[in-house]
């Protein structure tokens, strides 16, 4: 059993202690100093980053199920992270004529994700296109990571 190590709790006021430096000492004995303001910002970014990863994973699961439930009307689906960091779900219809029901369901998905606090850190967009070649579909996708559900 690992030996319990004492935890130091220091309460600092980011505004009042703006000149305070925080020393960070790593296991490998590397150390560095940050202003208190930067240390607080770094912790917030780390927590937000972990939360974002978890939310993105949950969203990808939801989108996978959503696409599978509509497999009879969807030729392919793509999820991409666009340059600004927002997530786009691009749904390619199986047919060329406009599928009003699929479009309506996609809009409802967009609304549901936007109103769900479980995805509060994610900027999410949707887009439906008619059946086209993958090369044509690429025009709607960013140069970032693209996840394909075909």
Instruction: Quick: pLDDT tens for 61-108.
Output: 999 999 999 999 999 998 988 777 788 899 999 999 999 999 999 999
Query: Pick from 136, 146, 148: which is nearest to 87 by CA?
Result: 146
Let me know if residue 137 belongs to a domain.
yes
What does the alpha-carbon distance between residue 73 and residue 62 come to, in Å, rounded to a whole number?
18
Q: Look at residue 134 and give its three-state secondary structure.
A: helix
CATH of the domain at 79: 3.30.300
Domain span at residue 107 reads 56-149
Instruction: Compute the half-sphere exposure of residue 50: CA atoms within 13 Å on the CB side of its CA.
Output: 5
Section 119-142 average pLDDT: 85
Tokens at 77, concatenated: 């689906």
Least confident of 7-11, 18-22, 67-71, 84-88: 7-11
Let me know if residue 27 belongs to a domain.
no
Let me know if residue 20 belongs to a domain.
no
Q: Look at residue 94 and give its three-state secondary structure.
A: coil
pLDDT at 6 over 90: no
Residue labelled with tokens 């936007």? 114
Let me know if residue 96 belongs to a domain.
yes
Helix (H) or strand (E) holding 66: helix 36-69
93 Cβ contact partners less than 8 Å away, ≥ 6 residues apart? 73, 74, 75, 99, 102, 128, 129, 130, 131
Let me know if residue 134 belongs to a domain.
yes
Rounded to 10 degrees, what is the CA torsion of 68, 69, 74, 75? 30
Higher pLDDT, 114 or 134: 114
Let me know if residue 114 belongs to a domain.
yes
Query: Pick from 51, 71, 58: which is nearest to 112 by CA?
Result: 58
Domain total in the chain: 1
Let me know if residue 47 belongs to a domain.
no
Let me know if residue 62 belongs to a domain.
yes
């Amino acid at each position: 059993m690992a030996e319990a190590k004492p935890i130091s709790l220091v309460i600092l006021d980011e505004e009042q202690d703006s000149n305070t430096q925080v020393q960070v000492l790593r296991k490998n004995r590397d150390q560095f100093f940050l202003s208190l303001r930067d240390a607080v910002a770094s912790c917030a970014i780390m927590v937000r980053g972990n939360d974002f990863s978890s939310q993105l994973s949950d969203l990808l699961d939801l989108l996978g199920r959503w696409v599978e439930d509509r497999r009879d009307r969807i030729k392919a689906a793509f999820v991409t992270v666009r340059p600004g960091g927002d997530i786009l779900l691009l749904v390619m219809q199986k047919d060329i004529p406009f599928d009003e029901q699929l479009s309506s369901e996609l809009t409802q998905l967009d609304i549901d994700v936007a109103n769900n606090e479980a995805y509060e850190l994610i900027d999410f967009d949707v887009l439906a296109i008619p059946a086209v070649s993958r090369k044509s579909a690429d025009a709607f996708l960013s140069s970032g990571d693209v996840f394909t559900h075909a």
